[in-house]
Amino acid sequence: MRILIIVLVLIAGPMLYIRLAPTSVDRWHNRPTATEPSDQQDEGGFTAVRRITAPAVEVLAAFEQRALATPRTTLLAGSVAERLLTFETRSLIWGFPDYTTVTVENDLLIVYGRLRFGRSDMGVNKARIQGWLDSLGPLTEPL
């Protein structure tokens, strides 16, 4: 019985921390920058930059709608009006948070997704971001 309690504590402790740790909006809600369309994978994150073919407000509103339709995704900070939005998406079982910041700079839509805990997101941010971009259709140019 003692071993079972120890195992439960070892599993429940990290799970509770991951789900309940406070989020510093200032750490995650920062404007990413870019100068040209590209895709960039890095350790624990993914950045996609696309040229937009519609007004920035229209593109950001469409992006926000698609992001918020994604399960376990909420708007952490920002608005379409300020042209900067940061979303938090949590994994299903453990509730690991990923943060995705979206902005438009000149005629470029910049989407930067990254994990909070660990080193590798196993391609989750890239897949999510590419799905959101694909759903924008003619509002952005393909890479």
The pLDDT value given to residue 83: 98
In this predicted structure, what is the pLDDT of residue 15?
A: 86
* Residue-level pLDDT at 11: 86
Strand arrangement, sheet containing 97-105 = 38-42, 45-51, 108-115, 97-105, 84-90, 73-79
pLDDT per residue as tens, the chain (143 positions): 888 888 888 888 888 889 889 999 999 999 999 999 999 999 889 999 999 999 999 999 999 999 999 999 999 999 999 999 999 999 999 899 999 999 999 999 999 999 999 988 889 999 999 999 999 999 999 87
pLDDT at 16: 87
User: Is the distance from CB of 85 to CB of 64 less than 8 angstroms?
Assistant: yes
Give the domain ranges of the chain: 24-139
pLDDT attached to residue 128:
97
One of 3.30.530.20, 3.20.20.140, 1.10.510.10, 3.40.50.300 is the CATH number of 24-139, namely 3.30.530.20
Q: What is the pLDDT of residue 7?
A: 83
Phi and psi (nearest 5°) for 94? -85, -20
